[in-house]
Amino acid sequence: MSETHKNYLHDLGAELRDRALKAKEQAQKARGTSDEQFERGRAFAYYEVVSLMESEAKTFELPPEDLHLEGFDADRDLMGLG
Protein backbone atom coordinates (compact mmCIF):
# COMPACT_ATOMS: atom_id res chain seq x y z
CA MET A 1 0.00 0.00 0.00
CA SER A 2 1.35 3.42 -0.88
CA GLU A 3 1.92 6.16 1.69
CA THR A 4 -0.91 8.11 0.09
CA HIS A 5 -3.31 5.21 0.65
CA LYS A 6 -2.12 4.78 4.23
CA ASN A 7 -2.54 8.48 4.96
CA TYR A 8 -5.98 8.50 3.36
CA LEU A 9 -7.21 5.56 5.46
CA HIS A 10 -5.70 7.00 8.63
CA ASP A 11 -7.25 10.43 8.09
CA LEU A 12 -10.61 9.02 7.01
CA GLY A 13 -10.81 6.78 10.06
CA ALA A 14 -9.94 9.65 12.39
CA GLU A 15 -12.44 12.00 10.75
CA LEU A 16 -15.28 9.48 10.83
CA ARG A 17 -14.52 8.52 14.44
CA ASP A 18 -14.56 12.17 15.51
CA ARG A 19 -17.76 12.91 13.59
CA ALA A 20 -19.43 9.81 15.03
CA LEU A 21 -18.57 10.84 18.58
CA LYS A 22 -19.85 14.35 17.91
CA ALA A 23 -23.07 12.95 16.42
CA LYS A 24 -23.57 10.85 19.56
CA GLU A 25 -23.09 13.96 21.68
CA GLN A 26 -25.55 15.94 19.54
CA ALA A 27 -28.12 13.15 19.83
CA GLN A 28 -27.80 13.19 23.60
CA LYS A 29 -28.23 16.97 23.69
CA ALA A 30 -31.31 16.75 21.45
CA ARG A 31 -33.24 14.45 23.80
CA GLY A 32 -36.74 15.74 24.32
CA THR A 33 -36.53 18.24 21.46
CA SER A 34 -38.01 18.28 17.99
CA ASP A 35 -34.54 17.40 16.63
CA GLU A 36 -34.21 14.20 18.65
CA GLN A 37 -35.21 11.71 15.94
CA PHE A 38 -33.03 13.36 13.31
CA GLU A 39 -29.98 13.49 15.57
CA ARG A 40 -30.46 9.90 16.71
CA GLY A 41 -30.70 8.76 13.10
CA ARG A 42 -27.57 10.69 12.19
CA ALA A 43 -25.67 9.17 15.11
CA PHE A 44 -26.82 5.69 14.15
CA ALA A 45 -25.72 6.23 10.55
CA TYR A 46 -22.23 7.13 11.73
CA TYR A 47 -22.25 4.06 13.99
CA GLU A 48 -23.08 1.88 10.97
CA VAL A 49 -20.21 3.34 8.93
CA VAL A 50 -17.58 3.11 11.68
CA SER A 51 -18.74 -0.37 12.66
CA LEU A 52 -18.41 -1.48 9.03
CA MET A 53 -14.91 0.00 8.86
CA GLU A 54 -13.93 -1.95 11.99
CA SER A 55 -15.40 -5.17 10.63
CA GLU A 56 -13.75 -4.83 7.22
CA ALA A 57 -10.41 -3.97 8.81
CA LYS A 58 -10.57 -7.23 10.79
CA THR A 59 -11.53 -9.18 7.67
CA PHE A 60 -8.56 -7.76 5.75
CA GLU A 61 -6.28 -8.06 8.79
CA LEU A 62 -5.62 -4.33 8.95
CA PRO A 63 -4.58 -3.14 12.39
CA PRO A 64 -6.90 -0.52 13.91
CA GLU A 65 -3.97 1.89 13.99
CA ASP A 66 -4.02 2.02 10.18
CA LEU A 67 -7.51 3.53 10.41
CA HIS A 68 -6.76 5.62 13.50
CA LEU A 69 -9.27 3.48 15.41
CA GLU A 70 -6.91 2.13 18.05
CA GLY A 71 -8.62 1.80 21.42
CA PHE A 72 -11.97 2.56 19.79
CA ASP A 73 -14.95 0.22 19.70
CA ALA A 74 -18.08 1.39 17.89
CA ASP A 75 -20.38 -0.80 19.97
CA ARG A 76 -18.93 0.45 23.24
CA ASP A 77 -18.12 4.05 22.35
CA LEU A 78 -21.08 4.93 20.16
CA MET A 79 -23.86 2.61 21.31
CA GLY A 80 -22.86 1.89 24.91
CA LEU A 81 -22.98 -1.88 24.35
CA GLY A 82 -19.85 -3.07 26.02
Range 33-37 contact pairs with CB under 8 angstroms and sequence separation of 24 or more: none
pLDDT digits (tens, 9 = 90+) for 37-66: 999 999 999 999 999 999 999 999 999 999
In the chain, pLDDT over 70 holds for what percent of residues? Answer: 98
What is the overall mean pLDDT for the chain? 94
Nearest partner of 71 among 2, 5, 14, judged by Cα? 14
pTM of the predicted model as reported, rounded to 2 decimal places? 0.89
